[in-house]
Structure 1
Amino acid sequence: MSTPARGLTSETNQVKNEMKTKRPATARTLHRQIGWVAAFVAMAWALTGFLHPVMSWTAPRPAVQAPPYGGQIRTLPDIPGQFLDKSGQIRTVQVRLVTIGGRPYWMSTDPSMTRKTVADALTGEAAPEAEEAHAIALARHYAALPEAGVRSVEIIDRFNTEYPQINRLLPVWRVAFETPEGLAVYVDTGADRLAAVTDGRRRALLWVFQNAHTLKFLGFAEPLRVALLAGLILSVIATSLIGAALLLKAKGRGLRKAHTLAAWAALPFILTFTVSGMFHLFVTMGPGQALPPPGVFSLADLAAPRPGPGSLYGLIATAGPDGKPVWRIETGGGIAYQGAATGHSDADRARAIAGAGPEAAVSLVTRFGRDYSFANKRLPVMRVEGPEGPVFVDVREGLIAAAPRKSALQKAEGWSFDVLHKWEFLRPIGTKNRDYLLMTTVGVIFLTAALGLALLPRRRRKQPRG
């Protein structure tokens, strides 16, 4: 009589054991199924994250940081409008006197055209080839390559993989030199400014980083790129969270134990990198903050500059608040303005461009910092304090260089990306030391994903058949 009871107990225990094994097995199965994708994605992102400091360390540096010194202007040319009118140009955002090959030229910027309009300031003849010559001279100056052969010269009017959007300035000239490393220098002829320096190694690393880390190759279909990135990020987050639950009861030896130990170390960093990356993706997708364009004025309104006594070093005209041209005249005695109120200064001009009142505080910014980062490119600029935050003005070009007004969401995203993704809070210990810690961390993430990937085929072989 006791045999059926023992059999019933045995069957009950078997059912309980099956139930116990099935519940965690579901989580393990999901972890394994998503893990195939998540492991490869995590390894790719870890590898490119490791490369990011390497790109910074090995990036070519300009031999010269400051723009070339134009020297004293000894002969004041005639009214530039008379010369530039011959080109058919009617309106412009900037006219300036520039020295190219020791000869003065008037250079005018039409916002609807990629190239500048250039006229010989002594003869009035059009000089379309002068801008390219000036671009080459600027590139030679910044690279300190006065004799190197020029491989190619081209004008760039849109951002690309080699010259990404973080560089801000467009249009620019790309001058490639005949050097072993394939050096190329990007310059802005509108302000004699250096835009970027690159070489063959940086181009290769940048191509790998942009295409593997941000799927830049899908830039032609931005919604698809964002959706795919979001899906890949979610796969890593889901795999990590399921793995975290499994870690609480994880046992094993060999590869399994190594994966468990690495996962404990990597888990918080995987989650902070992915969550901050997702936050960054959705807050920053779409067009960025649009700065007001520089003012436009008519060439017909451009009067002859009257620099007065003293040595003349710079002449540049931009649009005033009323749409009329204003000359900024740089002499040995300082800066003077023509076409504005008497006694007008750079501070007054900055207030006018920023739309600020006469009492707004203005200060000169000569180096990049937290409020005005390297990404903004232009220096020096004037900082104009306002009720919604500072506005940074380039008085030479007559435009707003940056107006970092952010919503609460944008501020939160900026903090998240700087602190959780880029570890900017570790800058006090030194950039190199911070990079070493970051590289060690992504190395642990890579190891965790690689060990998990190595375990997947073994787990599949151990699954019961039938």
Structure 2
Amino acid sequence: MATAKQNFYKWHRVLGLTALVPVIFWTISGLSHPFMANWFRPDIAKEVFKPLSQQNMKPQLSLKQVLDTNHITQFVNFGLVNFDHQSYYQILGTDSVFQYYSANTGRLLKNGDQAYAVYLARYFTQDSVSAIKSLTLQKTFDGQYQPINHLLPVWKVSFNRPDGMDIYVETGQSRMATFNNNTRKAFLWLFEQFHTWDFLAAIGGDQFRLIVLLCIVGIMFLSLLSGITIYGLFWKKFKTATKNRRAANRKDTRFVHRFHRQIGLIVSFVMLTFIVSGAFHLLVKLHNQGSMEKIYNQVINSKDISVSNLELPVPDSLTVKTGLIKYFGITYYQISTSKKDVLYINAINGKELTDGDKLYATYLSQYYREMSDVKNHKAKLTVTPIRQFDNEYGFINKRLPVQKISYPGNENWYIETTTSQLAAKVSGIDRAEGLSFIFLHKYFGMTWAGKNVRDIVSMLAALGVLVVSLFGFAAFLKNK
């Protein structure tokens, strides 16, 4: 029995030493996260772009007139934007490139998308003075523009300023995806290399990275389990040794070992929450590897537009955004109003589609679910407009407003109808993983106390794990 206990103790040391460097990496990078996401997050003058109403844009030409003037017979969508005191039709071609045509003359604005991206970046920063260092169309995610930002493609507008400010804008929706200064870029690099270990993906791909991280998390769990077991097996021995030392008034020469045991017992639950939520997160990511995200495409024919976009039965003073969608082969104007309604007007006869946004959202959700019989699908669905983030559909998803389509089996699909994009799918294991991660890993259960308190608590938890690991390493060195 004594030999078995000693072997157990030996394996705890081996496991602990194996996990030591990863634990240091994860806890230190975890400690940096509140600084990056909250305390050292750069300020931005404007976070949301407020477009002019169609009444204030005062377009002289209709969309159809501009299309005919420029011999455009097919395109994907359009918008009406105003910048530099001019109004333009923003037309997305079948080549996925935005072109800008004057709403008064119909003439093409050269490099219009770049000009609008710079205009938006200056609007968000309220910086009309600094020179633009570079302008890049970003079609993929990278270390500074990570998948958490969701939106692609975006323009990366880099200002020539001491703080190195970069603004990422999605011109099609006139919105900002994210922004970084030099400090935030440094934190992002630290987090990417030491928390998510993206350098492993560069070596062997993302699946290799996930498997390696899962193996390390498994070793951490075994180290935790063996440590708790050792305390249970030896606690009488530890208690007797402490009692005898105090009775003999001897110097405590094994205080490092004692602190490692005591603090380890205190933070063991915290370690367990980090390990379980982290492992669950990695397993779900590994499970979802290789699943291709379906993309919705539409092509609008100019001949399908009979009703002028300037003569729709919605007051220009309420119209903030107009686009086009195809719903079961019929083309509709999609009108976003200042009252946050989305209306659908038939482009041929001018009639409104009742409950159009709910119908279109359901249509898209069934498209993304790859259902073959969309029209005759008889499942009882609930469609709910979502205008603010919550625990299930959090800020991480970026897109608002969206429609939530709830299917039987507690399966929810979130659709941004103005872009025809799937914003999020939440069901089964994905929901459980999301909740475990935000509550057990990011401590969202402390949100009631405020973001600062939540960040401090999470930092103390990470710091506790780091201290235990360092005391364990010090105890190992002391035994040599």
**Residue 394 of structure 2, aligned match among 373, 378, 389:** 373
Per-residue CA deviations over 1:277-319 (Å, capped at 9, x if unaligned) read 1111011231568365253323453444242585465563322
**Residue 295 of structure 1, aligned match among 295, 298, 318:** 298
**Contact residue 91 and residue 298 of structure 1 kept, 8 A:** yes
Q: Does 1:436 align with 2:445?
A: no
Could you say if the C-alpha distance between residues 287 and 101 of structure 1 is closer, same or farther in structure 2, counting changes exceeding 3 Å?
Answer: farther
**Contact residue 291 and residue 402 of structure 1 kept, 8 A:** no
Is the partner of 1:69 in helix, strand or coil? coil
Paired position in structure 1 for 2:187: 205
Correspondences of 1:66-77 after superposition (within 5 Å)? 66-71=48-53, 72-77=56-61
Could you say if the C-alpha distance between residues 266 and 110 of structure 1 is closer, same or farther in structure 2, counting changes exceeding 3 Å?
Answer: farther
Distance between the aligned counterparts of 2:68 and 2:348, measured in 1? 22
Q: 1:375 corresponds to which letter in structure 2?
A: I
Could you say if the C-alpha distance between residues 295 and 389 of structure 1 is closer, same or farther in structure 2, counting changes exceeding 3 Å?
Answer: farther
Distance between the aligned counterparts of 1:260 and 1:316, measured in 2? 64
Paired position in structure 1 for 2:245: none
Q: Does 1:353 align with 2:374?
A: no
Correspondences of 1:270-349 after superposition (within 5 Å)? 270-285=271-286, 286=289, 290=293, 293-303=296-306, 304-308=308-312, 311=316, 313-314=319-320, 316-329=322-335, 337-339=345-347, 344=352, 347-349=355-357
**Contact residue 351 and residue 384 of structure 1 kept, 8 A:** no
**Contact residue 384 and residue 391 of structure 1 kept, 8 A:** yes
Distance between the aligned counterparts of 2:284 and 2:348, measured in 1? 41
Per-residue CA deviations over 1:91-136 (Å, capped at 9, x if unaligned) read 43311222232222222224653x3233334443333411111111
Could you say if the C-alpha distance between residues 392 and 263 of structure 1 is closer, same or farther in structure 2, counting changes exceeding 3 Å?
Answer: closer
Distance between the aligned counterparts of 1:68 and 1:402, measured in 2? 22
Identical amino acids, percent of aligned pairs: 23
- Of 270-279 and 283-292, more deviation after overlay is shown by 283-292
Is the partner of 2:472 in helix, strand or coil? helix
**Residue 416 of structure 2, aligned match among 394, 411, 429:** 394
**Contact residue 63 and residue 144 of structure 1 kept, 8 A:** yes
**Contact residue 260 and residue 472 of structure 2 kept, 8 A:** yes
Q: 2:299 corresponds to which letter in structure 1?
A: V
Distance between the aligned counterparts of 2:221 and 2:279, measured in 1? 10
**Contact residue 392 and residue 431 of structure 2 kept, 8 A:** no
Distance between the aligned counterparts of 2:94 and 2:15, measured in 1? 50
Could you say if the C-alpha distance between residues 371 and 340 of structure 1 is closer, same or farther in structure 2, counting changes exceeding 3 Å?
Answer: farther
Distance between the aligned counterparts of 1:331 and 1:403, measured in 2? 24
Q: 1:36 corresponds to which letter in structure 2?
A: L
Using the size of structure 2 for normalisation, the TM-score is 0.81
Paired position in structure 2 for 1:141: 123
**Residue 178 of structure 2, aligned match among 196, 203, 221:** 196
Is the partner of 1:63 in helix, strand or coil? coil
Distance between the aligned counterparts of 2:346 and 2:43, measured in 1? 38
Contiguous gaps of at least 5 residues in structure 2:
239-252, 367-374
Distance between the aligned counterparts of 1:289 and 1:373, measured in 2? 22
**Contact residue 23 and residue 469 of structure 2 kept, 8 A:** yes
Cα deviation for residue 452 of structure 1 reads 1.1
Q: 1:106 corresponds to which letter in structure 2?
A: Y
Contiguous gaps of at least 5 residues in structure 1:
1-18, 462-466
Is the partner of 2:425 in helix, strand or coil? coil
CA root-mean-square deviation: 3.0
Could you say if the C-alpha distance between residues 272 and 364 of structure 1 is closer, same or farther in structure 2, counting changes exceeding 3 Å?
Answer: closer
Distance between the aligned counterparts of 2:151 and 2:310, measured in 1? 31
Correspondences of 1:14-413 after superposition (within 5 Å)? 20=2, 22-57=3-38, 58-71=40-53, 72-78=56-62, 79=64, 80-83=66-69, 85=71, 91-110=74-93, 112-113=95-96, 115-220=97-202, 221-248=205-232, 249=234, 251=238, 253-285=254-286, 286=289, 290=293, 293-303=296-306, 304-308=308-312, 311=316, 313-314=319-320, 316-329=322-335, 337-339=345-347, 344=352, 347-355=355-363, 364-383=385-404, 387=408, 389-397=411-419, 399-407=420-428, 409-413=429-433
**Contact residue 306 and residue 338 of structure 1 kept, 8 A:** no
Q: How many residues align?
A: 435
Cα deviation for residue 382 of structure 1 reads 4.1
Q: 1:169 corresponds to which letter in structure 2?
A: L
Per-residue CA deviations over 1:337-373 (Å, capped at 9, x if unaligned) read 2427765268423322322999976554332223432
Distance between the aligned counterparts of 2:384 and 2:474, measured in 1? 59
Q: 2:298 corresponds to which letter in structure 1?
A: G
**Contact residue 416 and residue 423 of structure 2 kept, 8 A:** no
Q: 2:67 corresponds to which letter in structure 1?
A: G
Could you say if the C-alpha distance between residues 412 and 367 of structure 1 is closer, same or farther in structure 2, counting changes exceeding 3 Å?
Answer: closer
Distance between the aligned counterparts of 1:363 and 1:353, measured in 2? 10
Cα deviation for residue 213 of structure 1 reads 1.0
**Contact residue 55 and residue 202 of structure 1 kept, 8 A:** yes
Cα deviation for residue 395 of structure 1 reads 3.9
**Contact residue 305 and residue 347 of structure 2 kept, 8 A:** no
**Contact residue 98 and residue 104 of structure 1 kept, 8 A:** yes
Q: 2:304 corresponds to which letter in structure 1?
A: D
Is the partner of 1:133 in helix, strand or coil? helix
